[in-house]
Amino acid sequence: MPRPGELVFEAPARGRPPRHLLDLDPAARREAVAALGVPAYRADQVSRHWLGRLSNDPAEWTDLPAEQRSMIAEALLPPLLTPVRAIDCDAGTTVKTVWRLHDGALVESVLMRYPGRVTMCISSQAGCGMNCPFCATGQAGLTRNLSAAEIAEQVVAGARALARGEIAGGPGRVSNVVFMGMGEPLANYSTVVSALRRIVEPAPSGLGISARGVTVSTVGLVPRMRQLADEGLPVTLAVSLHAPDDALRDTLVPINTRYKVAEVLDAAWGYADRTHRRVSIEYALIKDINDQAWRADLLADLLVGRLVHVNLIPLNPTPGSKWTASTPEDERAFVRTLERRGVPVTVRDTRGREIDGACGQLAATSA
Ligand code: SAH
């Protein structure tokens, strides 16, 4: 593992990441393998090694002739994610990894092990173009979209480390994936949908992680929310609301000037109707900005009676931010208002804070 002092940020060149097995569905993999002059069914065998057994060592793929293994590995399994560094906390059960991509762009993923589940928080873009003023990733702007394989390989890397017993707590599996790292997933829509298929479809197509354990978080790109409802992917949709009124939300989530609170929530209820999945409403509590009792009441007015769950996130102040988290009293009052109105609510834990691996803290370029 490189030492922090060795970290070099190279300006990313244009150009697509090299093609990878996980950019392709099983039929396209067979075609790609056949084009190498190797029997098409070898694609399924390699896929089972990569995604089922999580083996990245061709020497272990003994059901294929050695020269076919290396031909396929060279053509379809280029290294996409190079670890720059990994930092852990919580006695090794929270691990943040900074990855360098082929063009020098940096992204981060976080693995969080809890009793009975492991959640991976992954990135869908290098940087982000949504410009939310309280979010560390938003400050640096968008570098580029990730490819489907660059997204899915973050999960594969975590799954492999867990399977090999490299994470504190012994061998395990990834049960949950949240698109809450860097980037706005619905701004990289078709690629994120491909990555979702690689994550939820069983081997040899994908990793076989239950769609019920996967959450896509969005600022509220309304047309894409409606499109996602029709993909037949029963993943959880999380909406980063952060304010119940347009006047404030226009400033906290600038895309609100295009898609208003009412439209975003209408698309969220459409998603719930279509998928029967409870929509998650993300709300970062910011002291004296969005944590007033009247805003809690207004939020309850919007959500009461809906298939919804509110996730309150104590703000993680970004460096130089003028904002701080709400006081414990204001947080409790906010929770009580929602509870009294019958709106399900929890306060999210702030795992990974000390390693800048917590919600909204991922900003690889400032590492
Ligand atoms: N672009 C997606 C994913 C972003 S990160 C989205 O906006 O939903 C996931 C969550 O972390 C979002 O709800 C985001 O608003 C929140 N977040 C960002 N910065 C934060 C901060 N400093 N403190 C608390 N939550 C933050």
Q: How far away, in angstroms, is 349 Cα from ligand 1 center?
A: 14
Assigned token pair, 224: 């894409």
Q: Note the pLDDT tens digit of each residue in 306-360.
A: 999 999 999 999 888 899 999 999 999 999 999 999 999 999 987 777 777 766 6
Return the bridge partners of 114, or none. Answer: 117
The predicted model gives 17-44 an average pLDDT of: 98
Residue 58 shares a structural domain with residue 171: no
Containing structural domain, residue 41? 21-76
**pLDDT above 60 for 13:** no
User: Which among 140, 111, 109 is positioned nearest to 366, based on CA atoms?
Assistant: 140
128 CA closest ligand 1 atom index? 1
Q: Note the pLDDT tens digit of each residue in 60-103.
A: 999 999 999 999 999 999 999 999 999 999 999 999 999 999 99
Residue 363 lies in a domain: no
**pLDDT above 90 for 361:** no
Query: Which H helix or E strand runs over 148?
Result: helix 148-163
Q: How far away, in angstroms, is 240 Cα from ligand 1 center?
A: 7
Residue 61 shares a structural domain with residue 161: no
Residue 215 CB–ligand 1 contact under 6 Å: no
Listed range (41-55, 127-141, 205-219) with the worst mean pLDDT: 127-141
**Residue 106 contacts by C-beta under 8 Å, 6 or more apart in sequence?**
9, 84, 98, 99, 100, 126, 364, 365, 367
Residue 107 lies in a domain: no
Residue 160 lies in a domain: yes
Q: Is the pLDDT higher at 15 or at 150? A: 150
Residue 248 shares a structural domain with residue 141: yes
Q: How far away, in angstroms, is 129 Cα from ligand 1 center?
A: 13
Residue 272 shares a structural domain with residue 195: yes
Query: CA 52, CA 159: separation in Å to the nearest integer?
Result: 10
Res 7: pLDDT: 36
User: Which among 148, 128, 124, 146 is positioned nearest to 138, based on CA atoms?
Assistant: 128
**320-to-133, 142, 364 alpha-carbon distances in Å:** 11, 20, 17
108 is catalytic: yes
Residue 189 shares a structural domain with residue 338: yes
Q: How far away, in angstroms, is 339 Cα from ligand 1 center?
A: 23
Res 349: pLDDT: 82
Res 286: pLDDT: 98
Residue 141 shares a structural domain with residue 223: yes
Residue 219 CB–ligand 1 contact under 6 Å: yes
Residue 184 shares a structural domain with residue 333: yes
Res 319: pLDDT: 83
Residue 366 lies in a domain: no
Q: Note the pLDDT tens digit of each residue in 247-296.
A: 999 999 999 999 999 999 999 999 999 999 999 999 999 999 999 999 99
Residue 318 CB–ligand 1 contact under 6 Å: yes
**178-to-57, 112, 168, 359 alpha-carbon distances in Å:** 28, 11, 21, 11
Residue 184 CB–ligand 1 contact under 6 Å: yes
Cβ neighbours, 10 Å, residue 236: 20
Res 140: pLDDT: 84
Q: What is the average pLDDT value for the chain, to the nearest integer?
A: 93
Residue 357 lies in a domain: no
Pairing relation of β-strands 106-114 and 94-100? antiparallel
The predicted model gives 151-177 an average pLDDT of: 98
Q: How would you label 6-18 residue by residue, b for 16+ Cβ within 10 Å and e otherwise?
A: eeeeeebeeeebe
Residue 207 shares a structural domain with residue 287: yes
Candidate from 359, 361, 366 with most ligand 1 atoms within 8 A of CB, to mutate = 359
Residue 141 shares a structural domain with residue 59: no
pTM (predicted TM-score): 0.94
Residue 270 shares a structural domain with residue 145: yes
Judge whether 237 and 277 are in contact, CB under 8 Å.
Answer: yes
Judge whether 96 and 355 are in contact, CB under 8 Å.
Answer: yes
DSSP 196-241: HHHHHSPTTTS----GGGEEEEES--HHHHHHHHTSS--PEEEEE-
Residue indicated by tokens 């400033």: 251
Assign 312 to helix, strand or coil: strand
CATH number of the domain where residue 291 is located: 3.20.20.70
CA 177 centroid distance within chain: 7
Last residue of a domain, one of 30, 54, 76: 76
Residue 316 CB–ligand 1 contact under 6 Å: yes
Torsion angle of alpha carbons 32, 35, 37, 40, nearest 10°? 40
Judge whether 249 and 243 are in contact, CB under 8 Å.
Answer: yes
**Residue 327 contacts by C-beta under 8 Å, 6 or more apart in sequence?**
287
Count how many domains the chain has. 2
Residue 4 lies in a domain: no
Res 87: pLDDT: 92
The predicted model gives 211-229 an average pLDDT of: 98
Residue 240 CB–ligand 1 contact under 6 Å: yes
Q: What percent of the chain has pLDDT over 70?
A: 94
Query: CA 229, CA 223: separation in Å to the nearest integer?
Result: 10
pLDDT band at 14 (very low <50, low <70, confident <90, very high): low
User: Which among 258, 224, 221, 213 is positioned nearest to 240, based on CA atoms?
Assistant: 221
89 is catalytic: no
Residue 257 shares a structural domain with residue 325: yes
Candidate from 184, 248, 282, 331 with most ligand 1 atoms within 8 A of CB, to mutate = 282
314 CA closest ligand 1 atom index? 24
Torsion angle of alpha carbons 321, 322, 323, 324, nearest 10°? 80
Res 363: pLDDT: 73
Residue 178 CB–ligand 1 contact under 6 Å: no
Candidate from 240, 285, 347 with most ligand 1 atoms within 8 A of CB, to mutate = 240
CATH number of the domain where residue 45 is located: 1.10.150
Assigned token pair, 204: 């040899």
Query: CA 259, CA 110: separation in Å to the nearest integer?
Result: 30
Residue 63 shares a structural domain with residue 196: no
Residue 151 lies in a domain: yes
Res 352: pLDDT: 78
Judge whether 23 and 147 are in contact, CB under 8 Å.
Answer: yes
Residue 40 lies in a domain: yes
Query: Which H helix or E strand runs over 309?
Result: strand 308-314
